[in-house]
Amino acid sequence: MASMRDIKRRKTSIQGTQQITKAMKLVSTVKLQRARAAAEKSQYYFDSMFRTVNSILSRVGHIEHRYLIPGESERKAVVVITSNRGLAGGYNSNVVKLITRNDAFKKEDLDIYTIGNKGREAFARYGYTIREDMPEVIEDPLYSEVNALTDRLLKSFEAGEIGEIYLAYTFFKNTVSQEPRLIKLLPVEAEEEDEASAVMNFEPEDVDAIDMIIPKYISSLIYGGLKEAIASENGARMQAMDNATSNAEEMIDKLSLQYNRARQGSITQELTEIIAGSEAIG
Amino acid sequence: MADNMFNLRIITPERVFYEGEAQMVEFNTTEGEIGVYPGHIPLTVIVKPGILRIHEKDGERIAALHSGFAEILPDAISILAEIVEWPDEIDEKRANEALARAKDRLKNRYENLDVARAETALQRAMARINVLK
């Protein structure tokens, strides 16, 4: 059995860790509330954007537009949104797994654009090609930065370097559940629409409208993904830290019990020794 | 709701910029400046930098609208704007500097000049300055 001093030392150390995890949980709870409010605020924009794009695409049908057919290149670009910091449970590795465990993606044919340090570290370790890395975007996502990224992606697409563009992020379902998602940004696939939207007119004509709206559509998807991902990150961290805190609690209880036992054991032993000693003398 | 009013919503990625009843709204599009009254046929237009005028029941509000697109329906208009600013959000000094810079670029035609981009910058700066006037 471990000595009293050892047990006490371990207990103190776990208590220290517990204080940290407790504090981190509180911090991410506050951050989560803020991130959620931000994600909800921008929801409006994406819903309208999505509706408009779908209504345009359902009207023009299957025309030969460069944004609607895959490029000739076998290469694919993937924008991956992860966090800059760890201690968020499976949050980062789940997103990374979407790509590394996907049979449709060949390692040699991927251009990875990472937003977040953890994703970059993981892909670098597996030996993927990292085209760009933008860790600072996570801290405070600006629409203009996302727009610039979209421009670069579209340039690469138009130059024939890549044939398809994907986005991997974590969708925020609710506080306790977040779902990693992989969506295709380009070529845009139209969903079959009902007749109601068919009365919409476009100025300029449909094809020009696609030219101008698709880049905005892609930016809005990436931006929306960012907002969701930030909420998810804090949700995941809050949960991870909550678990860590209650695990620490359990360990402390167990160690307290062990400590008290050891203490009692040593007292009993001392008493036995004293009595044995006095008997020997007497 | 009166017959001659429609619901106007101006949304940006960050926030709902404006939401309310309006009698008429004017803004600049790729096809030229337009003014929309209630009862317009359904139409989607692409926004170009310019002044946005919202005619409300008791007065007019203006803002600088830079890019995005508008979805017009007979009883409602949604403008999905990437950038839109109220006059008090505009930095006049910066707008003036941007105007001078864009003019200079377009005049001197530097090497590797992205003309379309410089023109957009010029239009934006002008929209901002006009709103402040």
B82-109 confidence digits (pLDDT tens): 888 888 888 888 888 888 888 888 888 7
Q: CATH no. for residue B27?
A: 2.60.15.10
- Asked if B46 and B60 sit in the same domain, the reply is yes
Q: Is the separation of the CB atoms in A111 and A129 below 8 Å?
A: yes
Residues sharing a CB contact under 8 Å with residue A170, sequence separation 6 or more, in sequence order: A81, A91, A94, A95, A178, A179, A180, A181, A228, A229, A232, A233, A236
Which helix (H) or strand (E) covers residue A173, if one does? strand A164-174
Give the gap in angstroms from C-alpha A127 to the nearest C-alpha of chain B: 35
Residue B100 falls inside a structural domain: yes
In 3-state terms, what secondary structure has residue B88? helix
pLDDT for the residue A169: 92
In this predicted structure, the answer to whether residue B1 has a pLDDT above a threshold of 60 is: no
- Asked if B10 and B70 sit in the same domain, the reply is yes
Residues sharing a CB contact under 8 Å with residue B78, sequence separation 6 or more, in sequence order: A48, B9, B10, B11, B70, B71
Q: How far apart are CA A82 and CA A98, in angstroms?
A: 12
Where in the sequence is the domain holding A213, given as residue range(s)? 23-240
How many distinct structural domains can be found in chain B?
A: 2
Nearest to A42 among B14, B69, B71 (CB): B14
Nearest to A44 among B16, B68, B82 (CB): B16
Between residues A133 and B131, the one the model is more confident about = A133
In this predicted structure, the answer to whether residue A57 has a pLDDT above a threshold of 70 is: yes
Between residues A239 and A204, the one the model is more confident about = A239
Give the end-to-end CA distance of chain B in Å, rounded to a whole number.
33
Residue A274 falls inside a structural domain: no
Q: How many residues are listed for chain B in this entry?
A: 133
Structure tokens given for A263? 């203490």
Partners of residue B29 in chain A, C-beta under 8 Å: 203
Specify the range with the lowest mean pLDDT, choosing from A32-36, A120-124, A252-256, B110-114: B110-114
Task: Give the number of other Cβ atoms within 10 Å of residue A270's Cβ.
Answer: 10
Q: How confident is the model at residue A199 (pLDDT cuts 50, 70, 90)?
A: low
> Across residues A190-207, what is the average pLDDT?
64
pLDDT for the residue A50: 81
In this predicted structure, the answer to whether residue B46 has a pLDDT above a threshold of 90 is: no
Q: How far apart are CA A114 and CA A83, in angstroms?
A: 10
Residue A249 falls inside a structural domain: no
- Asked if B80 and B55 sit in the same domain, the reply is yes
pTM here is 0.81
Mean pLDDT of chain A: 87
At B59-69, the pLDDT tens digits run: 888 888 888 88
In this predicted structure, the answer to whether residue A247 has a pLDDT above a threshold of 50 is: yes
Q: Note the helical H segments in chain A.
A: 4-60, 91-100, 117-126, 136-139, 143-158, 206-281
CA distances (Å), origin A94, targets A82, A106, A117, A122: 10, 18, 15, 11
In this predicted structure, the answer to whether residue A187 has a pLDDT above a threshold of 60 is: yes
Q: How confident is the model at residue A47 (pLDDT cuts 50, 70, 90)?
A: confident
> Across residues A198-216, what is the average pLDDT?
77
Specify the range with the lowest mean pLDDT, choosing from A57-61, A158-162, B21-25, B111-115: A57-61
Interface mutation vs chain A, best among B10, B11, B17, most A CBs within 10 Å: B11
pLDDT for the residue A61: 62
What percent of chain A lies above the pLDDT cut of 70?
A: 94
At A86-103, the pLDDT tens digits run: 888 889 999 999 988 888
What percent of chain A lies above the pLDDT cut of 90?
A: 44
Does the distance separating the beta carbons of A143 and B14 come in below 8 Å? yes
Partners of residue A48 in chain B, C-beta under 8 Å: 11, 71, 78, 80
In this predicted structure, the answer to whether residue A275 has a pLDDT above a threshold of 50 is: yes
Tell me if chain B has a CB within 8 Å of the CB of A140: no
Q: How far apart are CA A191 and CA A158, in angstroms?
A: 24
Partners of residue A216 in chain B, C-beta under 8 Å: 68-69, 80, 82
Residue A14 falls inside a structural domain: no
- Asked if B74 and B14 sit in the same domain, the reply is yes
- Asked if B99 and B83 sit in the same domain, the reply is no
Does the distance separating the beta carbons of B31 and A204 come in below 8 Å? yes
pLDDT for the residue A276: 93
Q: B50-56 and B32-36: which strand pairing?
A: unpaired
Residue B117 falls inside a structural domain: yes
Residue B19 falls inside a structural domain: yes
CA distances (Å), origin A37, targets A31, A32, A93, A231, B46: 10, 8, 26, 9, 29
In 3-state terms, what secondary structure has residue A93? helix
Residue B14 falls inside a structural domain: yes
* Phi, psi angle pair for B67, to nearest 5°: -160, 160
How many distinct structural domains can be found in chain A?
A: 1
At A115-174, the pLDDT tens digits run: 999 999 999 999 888 888 888 888 888 888 888 899 999 988 888 888 899 999 999 888
Q: How confident is the model at residue A190 (pLDDT cuts 50, 70, 90)?
A: low
Beta-carbon contacts below 8 Å between A and B: 65
The partner residues of A111 in beta bridges, in order of sequence, read A77, A129
- Asked if B104 and B121 sit in the same domain, the reply is yes
Q: Is the separation of the CB atoms in B30 and B49 below 8 Å?
A: no
Q: How far apart are CA A122 and CA B11, in angstroms?
A: 37
What percent of chain B lies above the pLDDT cut of 70?
A: 98
The partner residues of B26 in beta bridges, in order of sequence, read B35, B53
What is the value of ipTM here, to two decimals? 0.73
Q: A76-81 and A110-115: which strand pairing?
A: parallel
Q: Is the separation of the CB atoms in A157 and A180 below 8 Å?
A: no
Q: How many CA atoms lie within 13 A of B48 on its CB side?
A: 17
Where in the sequence is the domain holding B122, given as residue range(s)? 90-132
Q: Is the separation of the CB atoms in A183 and A166 below 8 Å?
A: yes
Q: How far apart are CA B5 and CA B39, in angstroms?
A: 9
Structure tokens given for B57? 């029941």
- Asked if B94 and B72 sit in the same domain, the reply is no
